[in-house]
Amino acid sequence: MAAPGEYFSVGSQVSCRTCQEQRLQGEVVAFDYPSKMLALKCPSSSGKPNHADILLINLQYVSEVNIINDRTETPPPLASLNVSKLANKARTEKEEKLSQAYAISAGVSLEGQQLFQTIHKTIKECKWQEKNIVVMEEVVIAPPYQVENCKGKEGSALSHVRKIVEKHFRDVESQKVMQRSQVQPTQKESALSS
Amino acid sequence: AAAVAAAASRKANPSPASPNGNLSPGAAGGPRATMVAPPGSGGGAPPGGSGTRGQSTGKGPPQSPAFEGVYNNSRMLHFLTAVVGSTCDVKVKSGSTFEGIFKTLSSKFELAVDAVHRKVPDQPVGPRREDIVDTMVFKPADVMLVHFRNVDFNYATKDKFTDSAIAMNSKVNGEHKEKILQRWEGGDSNSDDYDLESDMSNGWDPNEMFKFNEENYGVKTTYDSSLSSYTVPLEKDNTEAFRQREARAAQLAREIESSPQYRLRIAMENDDGRTEEEKHSSVQRQVSGRDSPSLASREGKYIPLPQRVREGSRGGIRCSSSRGGRPGMGSLPPRGSSHHSESNTGSVPEQRGINGGPSRMSPKSQRPNRGAKSMSSPTSRPMEVSTASPTVGRLYAPRSPKSASAVPVSSQDPPVGPAIPIAPASPSESRPTMESSASPTPPSPKVPASVPVAAVEVKEVPSSATKEASRTVEVMGPSDLVKQTSKGLQNEQKRNQLEELRKFGAQFKLQPSSSPEATHDPFRPKESLEGKVKDKLPEVLVGTGGSCEVPEEPPKPSLEFCEGSSKEEKGSSEGMERQTQTASPLGKGEAEDKEDGPVSEQVKKSTLNPNAKEFNPSKTLLSVNKSTSTPTSPGPRTHSTPSIPVITPGQSGMYSTQYISYIPQIHMSPAVQTPQMYPYPVSNSVPGQQGKYRAKGSLPPQRSDQHQPTSAPPIMQAAAAAAGPPLVAATPYSSYISYNPQQFTGQPTMMQPMAHYPSQPVFAPMLQSNPRMMTSGSHPQAIVSSSTPQYPPAEQPTPQTLYATVHQSYPHHATQLHPHQPQPATTPTGNQQQTQHAAPSPVQHQAGQPPHLASAQQQQNLYHTATLTATPPSITPGPSAQSPQSGFPQQAVYAIHAHQQLQHGYTNMAHVTQAHVQTGIAAAPPPHPGAPQVMLLHPSQTHGGPPQGGVPQSGVPTLSASTPSPYTYIGHHQVQSHPSQQLPFHTPGN
């Protein structure tokens, strides 16, 4: 609700159709008249209740806008944001993506990528070294990234990583079964091919 | 618009470019891939309403220092800032989708996205490094849709409550320094020694700030505490108009402060004014409700003067609220005042109507009265200020005149504790007045000496004095509680009275109340006054004064109690009527006094009623005496004099604790005479006691009246008795408090009060019971009905007659007893303390006396009261006072009263006999001194108490014999219910 905040009232439910015939619906959180940008909030694509998706729509490419219901209530005040925290998040996100990209570009298999993701969830200190995953500078996991491929100094670190790897593949296995049963057989192949 | 156009023009380019230019970060060629740095030219410049992008600006600002474009849209900016770091899919108009991590946006809405790669529909595997563009900037014109996924809006919400957050936020006054945390030097946090409450300072003292600024910044404050720049100081004028306006203002303030809403709000802020009982005991509330708004406050907790006054009003309100009838009662007090005026005017009904609005109504009614009678009308409200004084004066005046004792009585009544109960009854009626009167009363006690001298002058003073007195009373009340209720009450009462007297004396030129000494005189003065007003009345009053004090008190107490309670509820109106009647008969001054007296009596009655039963036993003795005396004189004189005395006594009694202030006011209103009267009474411990007695007595009288007429007495009594006990518990405090004040007024009986205190608790119960009696018992109704009818019709006539009778009886007693009275005074106080009976009696006496005194002097009044109390013997005085009051009401029933009293006496005698007799004996001989106290207590305890007291004084045997029959009824009923209580009290007292 920019200057002419009259166009859309915050909190109202809006449905619009883009020029690409895409249906979009959500709750208006902001609108910028000069740029014709409309921000909608809709349920998170991940399904997490405390998360939400934000759609930033350029109304210049929208053929139809329908206000499903209007809300007259005054929108809640905007909470102050920790910008530095957001900036850090943006940086780390970017680094992770790039890191992954490096690994992928190095020809790491899909299993390897998945394993890396899994380990990374638990242990941040892990990176790609060529095609090897190096965890905490102590444990190196070489393709094909099985439990027996975990090498390093015997100790709690190694055993810990092995447990993670072991569990990862167990989960993947169960996931595959489910996926196959659900008709998604090609994922692995495609992944391999890629 | 321009921006849009530009965007449109660019569209063409972007679309083609986007497809082609995929991953190359530069994408310089393509319009879409522009550097993050925002172009110098602001995009659209639509004025954004809110330019506060503040926090989000973080990244944005660097690019464009000035708020431009979207930066003016705080809301948009906020959400786009919140999604920084989130993964986003940017769909351009070409249909391609790029995925990246949103980084920032420019004022022109150009979106900077990091680590962007083009999304390929069928690509489960992540992008290769070479597919990723470090940063891409999308022009708004090229963007069709941006989808930010899985945004957690709480992620970046600033925490404002951690030390780090606070420190980070310390951008105070534009300074962006990191806050330096200081070590806490409050000592060991684990130790319990540190008292958070110890440091009462709330931040800087203004003067400290001024000084600091002057020293450190050379800034000198121009603050002027007088706020002369903003307001004009009030120029106090000595003109009549100014005073009137002042009075008016005070009245308004009082009205407001007495309003239920105001009280409620104040109570929420400070519930100190309420006792535990008030808070948690419905029973007490009822009792206190009537009697004790003031009582309650007085009872234990310290209450600011203003609040006390309010409390008084509150009490009235409470009473009304608590009891169905109370409202009426509450109104009644006002009525009393109004009655005075009305009585003068002859509009009793109106007063009642006024009663409807307890506190407020009363004030108004009082005001009207004032209008009619400057003194009378003011009485209720005047209490505080001039108006208050006038009203008070009237109220008091009535009381005082009728019974200087009346004032005392009122004060005494409060002390009695029973007073609370009494107060309830009277409170409803007089509460408004009570408040005012209550405060006044105390003064009156103090003033007494002075009061007599300059009643008119005193008026204002009285009000203040009354207020103070009320305060003192309250304070005293607590002490009383601590001590034996009886003694403590008495002491408090005495003190209050003394204080009041002193104040009065200081303010007034009148001599300090020499109540004891004057006792005899008071009667005479009263008589003379009455005589002036009405020859008969005076005589009656005189006679009654004496008789009332002694004999009547006992009976009256019982009657008052029974009737009083009923009256209070129902009879408040009656009381009013009586008052009015009395007032009218008496003549202006006396009339006022009488009216006040009636009111007080009513009040007392109400309170008394509960006590009345108990008292009856004690009263029996007194009653006997009274019976003899009352019967004789009451009939003739009753109306005029009796009414006054009755009213005052009853009111005072009723009000005593709560109303005490009111009573004083009333007295004050009477102006010179009344005020004086009151003070004297107050000063005289006896008066106060009498007041209590009266209260009790008043109730009994009412009852007796009712009973006699209705033949309901027995029932009533029984009801009262039944109700009495429960009430006792509740009322005690209030009653005590009230008593104390009265007692203090009673001064002489300080010691006695102590002894009496114990009994006072009983009184309180009694009072409570009385209220109940009133409510529950048909008595109240009957009484009310009977009394009211009588009063209204004959307002002057009947009431007068009644009063006259009572007075007569009292006078007789008083006169007879007067000699004793001095002692009785003490005893009366004791009585009052014990049960309110004493107080009632005093009140009655006072009331009775006041009329006489009114004409006479304050001292006389005091004396009268004192004498009355004394005459009745310690007990009798109270009883007499009560009896007079009650007698007045009863007087209407003349025969009835006497009978009732007699009955009560019998019953009381029977019950109390042992204790009473003992007490009586003790009291009788030494009367005033120690014995009286005891006596009083006993009397008070048992309604008979007053009678008994009277008996002792006058000669227990004879009195008992004479009164017994009448009292017996009351006494029996009361006694039955109350006996135990009474006995306990007696014992304490003893």
Please identify which residue in the block is written with the tokens 């103090």.
B446
- Interface membership of A184 toward B (CB under 8 Å): no
Phi/psi at B149 (nearest 5 deg)?
-105, 140
Q: Which residue has the higher pLDDT, A114 or B825?
A: A114
Residues facing B759 on adjacent strands: none
Q: Which residue of B has its CA nearest to A37?
A: B140
Task: Judge whether A192 is closer than 8 Å to chain B, CB to CB.
Answer: no
What tokens were used for B307?
A: 């609040």
Q: Other CB atoms closer than 10 Å to residue B206's CB: what's the count?
A: 11
Nearest CB to A55: which of B87, B147, B152?
A: B147
Chain B closest CA to A33's CA: distance in Å?
8
Contacts of B796 (CB under 8 A, 6+ apart): B343, B346, B580, B581, B582, B583, B584, B585, B639, B640, B643
* Rounded Cα distance, B302 and B299, in Å: 9
Contacts of B46 in chain A (CB under 8 A): 2-4, 33-34
Taking only the tens place, the pLDDT of each residue in B325-374 is 333 333 333 333 334 433 333 333 333 333 433 333 333 333 333 333 33
**Structure tokens, B846:** 């006072």
Dihedral of CA atoms B699, B703, B709, B715 in degrees, nearest 10, equals: 180
**Contacts of residue B63, Cβ cutoff 8 Å, sequence gap at least 6:** B36, B37, B38, B104, B106, B107
Place of tokens 């004959």: B794
Residue B220 has pLDDT above 80, yes or no: yes
**Cβ-defined contact of A83 to B59 (cutoff 8 Å):** yes
Interface test with A, best of B68, B88, B138, B150 (most A CBs within 10 A): B150
Could you please report the per-residue DSSP string of B789-800? HHTTTTSTHHHH
Residue with tokens 């709480």: B154
Judge residue B204's burial from the number of C-beta atoms within 10 Å of its C-beta, 0-12 exposed, 13-18 middle, 19 or more buried. Answer: exposed
A136-157 in b/e form (b: 16+ CB < 10 A) is beebebebebeeebbebeeeeb
Considering only the beta carbons, identify the residue of A2, A61, A93 that sits closest to B73: A2
Q: Are B690 and B408 in contact (CB under 8 A)?
A: yes
| pLDDT winner (highest mean) among A39-53, B294-308, B629-643, B781-795 | A39-53
At B793 the pLDDT is 37
Does residue B4 belong to the interface with chain A, where contact is any CB pair within 8 Å? yes
Q: Is A71 exposed, middle or buried (0-12, 13-18, 19+ CB in 10 A)?
A: middle
Residue B565: CB partners within 8 Å, gap ≥ 6?
B421, B422, B424, B425, B605, B606, B607, B608, B609, B610, B612, B699, B702, B703, B720, B723, B767, B769, B770, B771, B772, B773, B774, B775, B777, B779, B780
In this predicted structure, what is the pLDDT of residue B508? 55
Q: How confident is the model at residue B515 (pLDDT cuts 50, 70, 90)?
A: very low
Structural tokens at position B657: 């604790």
The token pair at B513 is: 């109340």
For residues B233-251, average pLDDT: 84
Q: Which two tokens stand for residue B71?
A: 């930066």
User: Is the bond preceding B873 in cis, omega lying within 30 degrees of 0?
Assistant: no
Q: Which of A39, A46, A90 sits opposite B76 (nearest CB)?
A: A39
| DSSP-based three-state secondary structure for B686 | helix
Is A107 in CB contact (< 8 Å) with chain B?
no
Question: What one-letter code names the amino acid at B423?
Answer: A
Helix (H, G, I), strand (E, B) or coil at A129: strand
Determine the distance in angstroms separating the CA of B29 from the nearest CA of chain A, rounded to an integer.
Answer: 23
Give B70's contacts in chain A (Cβ within 8 Å). Answer: 2, 32, 34-35, 37
Pinpoint the alpha helices (H) of B706-748.
713-730, 732-746
Angle at which helices B945-954 and B930-941 cross, to 10°: 140
Q: Which residues contact A186 (CB under 8 A, 6 or more apart)?
A: none
What are the structure tokens assigned to B926, written together? 């030494």
The first and second tokens of residue B370, run together, are: 């004032």
Whether residue B925 has pLDDT greater than 70: no
For chain B, say whether A9 makes contact (Cβ under 8 Å).
no
- Do the Cβ atoms of B156 and A39 come within 8 Å? no
As a whole number of angstroms, the distance between CA B677 and CA B683 comes to 10
Q: Judge whether residue B413 has pLDDT over 70.
A: no
pLDDT at B920: 37
DSSP assignment of B405-451: THHHHHHHTTTTBTHHHHHHHHHHHHHHHHHHHHTTTTHHHHGGGHH
Q: Given a cut of 70, is residue B151 above it in pLDDT?
A: yes
In whole angstroms, what is the distance from residue B104 CA to residue B114 CA? 9
Instruction: Please give the pLDDT value at position B314.
Output: 44
Q: Using the predicted structure, report yes or no on whether residue B947 has a pLDDT greater than 60.
A: no
Nearest to B494 by CA among B862, B186, B156, B246: B862
Beta strands in B523-597 (DSSP E): none
pLDDT digits (tens, 9 = 90+) for B705-752: 334 433 334 444 444 444 444 344 333 333 333 344 343 433 433 333
Which residue(s) pair with B136 in the sheet?
B113
pLDDT digits (tens, 9 = 90+) for B517-534: 433 443 444 444 443 434
Which residues of B251-408 form beta strands (DSSP E)?
none
Question: What is the end-to-end Cα distance of chain A in Å, rounded?
Answer: 45
Mean pLDDT for the stretch of residues B24-44:
35
Task: Walk across the sheet containing A52-58 and list its strands.
Answer: A62-69, A13-18, A23-32, A37-43, A52-58, B143-151, B87-92, B97-105, B111-118, B132-138
State the ipTM, two decimals: 0.77
Distance CA B611, CA B770 (A): 6
Q: What is the overall mean pLDDT for chain B?
A: 48
pLDDT at B626 over 70: no
Tell me the chain A residues in contact with residue B124 when contact means C-beta distances shorter than 8 Å: 110, 187, 190-191, 194
Positions of chain A with pLDDT under 50: 1-5, 184-194
pLDDT above 70: percentage of residues in chain B:
16
CA distance B835 to B623: 15
Give CA–CA dist B499/B115, Å, rounded: 91
Token code pair at residue A148: 């027996």
H runs (alpha helix) in chain A: 83-105, 110-122, 156-181, 186-193
Which chain B residues have a beta carbon less than 8 Å from that of A82? 55, 156-159
- How confident is the model over B881-894, as pLDDT tens digits? 333 333 343 333 33
In 3D, which of B97, B669, B679 has the Cα closest to residue B436? B669
- In SS3 terms, B871-935 reads as CCCCCCHHHHHHHHHHHHHHHHHCHHHHHHHHHHHHHHHHHHHHHHHHHHHHHCCCCCCHHHHHH
Rg (CA), chain B: 38
Identify the weakest region by mean pLDDT among B63-72, B204-213, B841-850: B841-850
Contact residues on chain A for B81, CB-CB shorter than 8 A:
81, 83, 86
Cα separation values, B14 from B20, B94, B114, B188, Å = 10, 8, 19, 69
Phi, psi angles (nearest 5°) of residue A26: 180, -175
- The residue whose two tokens read 């954004």 is B48
| Top-confidence residue, B195 or B113 | B113
Helix (H, G, I), strand (E, B) or coil at B225: coil
Helix (H, G, I), strand (E, B) or coil at A44: coil
**CA–CA min distance A68, chain B (Å):** 20
In this prediction, residue B71 carries a pLDDT of: 83
With vertex at residue B350, the alpha carbon angle to CA B346 and CA B352, rounded to the nearest 5 degrees, is 110
* Model pLDDT for residues B306-323, shown as the tens digit of each residue: 655 554 444 443 433 333
Q: What percent of chain B is helix, strand and coil (3-state, nearest 5)?
A: 70, 5, 25
Query: Could you tell me which residue, A95 or B17, shows the higher pLDDT?
Result: A95
Instruction: Check residue B762 and give its pLDDT.
Output: 38
B80 membership: H or E segment, kind and range: helix B74-82
CA B767 from centroid of its chain's CA atoms: 18
Q: Which two tokens stand for residue B553?
A: 């008190």
Provide the 10 A C-beta neighbour count for residue B416. Answer: 77
Hey, of A29, A97, A109, A172, which one would you mutate to test binding to chain B, going by the most B CBs within 10 A of its CB? A97
Q: Which pLDDT band holds residue B194 (cuts at 50, 70, 90)? A: low
| Residue of higher predicted confidence among B42 and B143 | B143
* Percent of chain B at pLDDT exceeding 90: 0
Q: Return the DSSP state at B67.
A: -
Q: Enter the DSSP assignment of B708.
A: I
Nearest CA in chain B to A16: B145
Any B CB within 8 A of A65 CB = no
Task: Give the whole-angstrom CA distance, residue A35 versus residue A53.
Answer: 21
A92-106, B196-210, B493-507, B626-640: lowest mean pLDDT where? B626-640
Give pLDDT, residue B123. 65
Answer whether B425's CB lies under 8 Å from B565's CB.
yes
Question: CB of B580 within 8 A of CB of B340?
Answer: yes
Instruction: Please tell me which of B111-125, B139-153, B287-301 the model is most confident about, judged by mean pLDDT.
Output: B139-153
Instruction: Identify the bridge partners of residue B98 per DSSP, sorted by sequence position.
Output: B90, B118
Task: Return the amino acid letter for B801.
Answer: T
The number of CA neighbours under 13 Å toward the Cβ of B683 is 40
Rounded to whole angstroms, how far apart are CA atoms B420 and B427? Answer: 9
The predicted structure's pLDDT at residue B304: 60
Write the residue in A22, A84, A94 that is nearest to B101 by C-beta: A94
CB-based contact, B42 to chain A, within 8 Å: no
